[in-house]
Amino acid sequence: MSNLRLTLGFALALGMLAAQPAPATMQAPALRPGEGFAITLGDGEVRAYGEAGKEAPMGSLAKLVWMRLEGAEWSGRGVRYTCKGTAGTFTCWNREGHGRVDVGKALRESCNLAFLAWIQDAQTHWRKDYGEAAARARMEDVFAPFLGRRLPQGETLPPLTPAWVGDGDLLRTSPEAFLRWLMEPDKAEVVTFGKRFLASFWVEVQDLFGKEGWWFKTGTAPVPGDPTATSAWVAGGRGSALVVLHLPRGRGKQEGMTRIREILGLKD
């Protein structure tokens, strides 16, 4: 009962804060062991709870980073891809394939093969337009917050592997770090893509949050040291509010969405 009261209290606080300046403190959400949650309500402040500062492989949140780098180009060109589940040495997480996808569907369904095909095409154009070294520098600049020192040094573009769309642990982040990345002014386009491609998939609480719905990007990531386990990510927003959630175990589409809706007090 205490957890229920705490969750409801947090949801009510979010509803009130959407319409007025945030106070210095607010009631914390009811989190489970190992969960990390970070939120900003559009006031420039970051509120971090649980394991919000703990870094983990970022999984399919990497696709939002690609939307920062190439989203405008892909959307402008109206790129399409037919996912059959495998392509050469690459395999999509959905072995049956996603069928024909555009950018919006590929982002919603986290189609690895579509993103890898479009990235490969983009890299071909980068080499022609910028040269190899400048193309690598451009890619490293965008992905720097998530690479640490794990990318070997060089002047050529790194090999295209599923690691660049969220497989493995090359790319890592924490809920707080990814939230701060989303909050940066030059990431506004990423939020715009989220609203455009992801907001319509979930029914929102109109009486608490008004008419504008939430958008959510889910992600499933590996757990270092445990090849049988996965962790779950959810990043999203509504209006000027942004949230990022990480679960130490689970899958983004199922457990991640269930938990973010519980934490935010969203109805089924």
Quick one: three-class SS letters along 156-190?
CCCCCCHHHHCCCCCCEECHHHHHHHHHCHHHHHH
Question: For the purposes of burial, counting CB atoms within 10 Å of the CB of 227, is it exposed (0-12), middle (13-18) or buried (19 or more)?
Answer: exposed
Residues with Cβ within 8 Å of residue 5, at least 6 apart in sequence = none
> Burial code of 119-132, b = ≥16 C-beta within 10 A, e = fewer?
bebbbeebeeeeee
Give which of 256, 205, 247, 52 is closest to 238, Cα–Cα: 205
As a whole number, mean pLDDT of residues 207-233 equals 85
- How far CA 132 is from CA of 66, 99, 160, 173, 232, in Å, comes to 19, 33, 14, 27, 35
Per-residue model confidence as pLDDT tens digits over 155-166: 999 999 999 999
Residue type at position 31? L
pLDDT tens by residue, 90-112: 988 888 989 999 999 999 999 99
The secondary structure element, H or E, covering residue 192 is helix 188-198
Which residues are 233's β-sheet partners? 219, 246
More confident residue, 157 or 19: 157
Q: Does 120 have pLDDT greater than 50?
A: yes
The structure tokens listed for 68 are 């920062």
CB 266 within 8 A of CB 257: no
Task: Check the CA dihedral 47-51-54-60 and report its sign.
Answer: negative
pLDDT for the residue numbered 213:
80
Indicate yes or no: pTM above 0.95. no
Residue 2 and residue 176: Cα distance in Å, rounded?
A: 26
Task: Please tell me whether residue 83 adopts helix, strand or coil conformation.
Answer: strand
